[in-house]
Amino acid sequence: MTFARLNRLTPTFILLLACGSLNLNAEEPQRTNGFHLDMLVQQAENNPNLLWNMGDPVLHLKAGDFWAQQGGSRLQVDFGKSGVAEPYDRSRVTRLLVIVSPSVADPEGSIGRLTHAMQAAWRQGWQTAIVRPDGSSTGYAAGPSSITQAVPATMPFNQSYLAAIKDLKGFDGTAIVLYLTGSAKGDREVPTPNALIESAKDSMAMLYVVDGGSPSYSDWTMEPYSPRSYDLPLPIYANIPAHGEFICGVKHEVSAQSALKAMRLDLQGRYDLYIEPQSGHSFDPNQPISIKVKSKNEIRTFLEADGIGRDIPVEVSQR
54 and 125, same domain (yes or no): no
239 and 287, same domain (yes or no): no
152 and 162, same domain (yes or no): yes
Phi-psi region of 245 (alpha: psi -120 to 50; beta: other; left: phi over 0): beta
Q: Which of 247, 268, 289 is the last residue of a domain?
A: 268
Q: Which pTM does this prediction carry?
A: 0.75
29 and 133, same domain (yes or no): no
Instruction: Check whether 243 has a pLDDT greater than 50.
Output: no
Q: Residue 71 — pLDDT band, cuts 50, 70, 90?
A: very high
Q: What is the CATH number of the domain that holds 245?
A: 3.40.50
Question: Domain range for residue 123?
Answer: 89-268
149 and 23, same domain (yes or no): no
> Is residue 131 a contact partner of residue 150, using CB atoms and an 8 Å limit?
no
143 and 73, same domain (yes or no): no
Q: Which of 253, 268, 283 is the last residue of a domain?
A: 268
98 and 10, same domain (yes or no): no
123 and 24, same domain (yes or no): no
Lowest mean pLDDT among 44-53, 140-149, 177-186, 190-199: 44-53
Which tens digit of pLDDT belongs to each residue from 2-45? Answer: 655 556 443 323 323 334 333 333 343 444 589 999 898 988 76
166 and 239, same domain (yes or no): yes
Q: Tally the domains of the chain.
A: 2
253 and 281, same domain (yes or no): no
Which tens digit of pLDDT belongs to each residue from 279-308? Answer: 889 999 899 999 999 998 888 888 888 888
The CA-based angle 93-90-18, given to 5 degrees, is: 80
- Closest among 299, 311, 296 to 31, alpha carbons compared: 311
pLDDT > 90 fraction of the chain, expressed in percent and rounded: 34
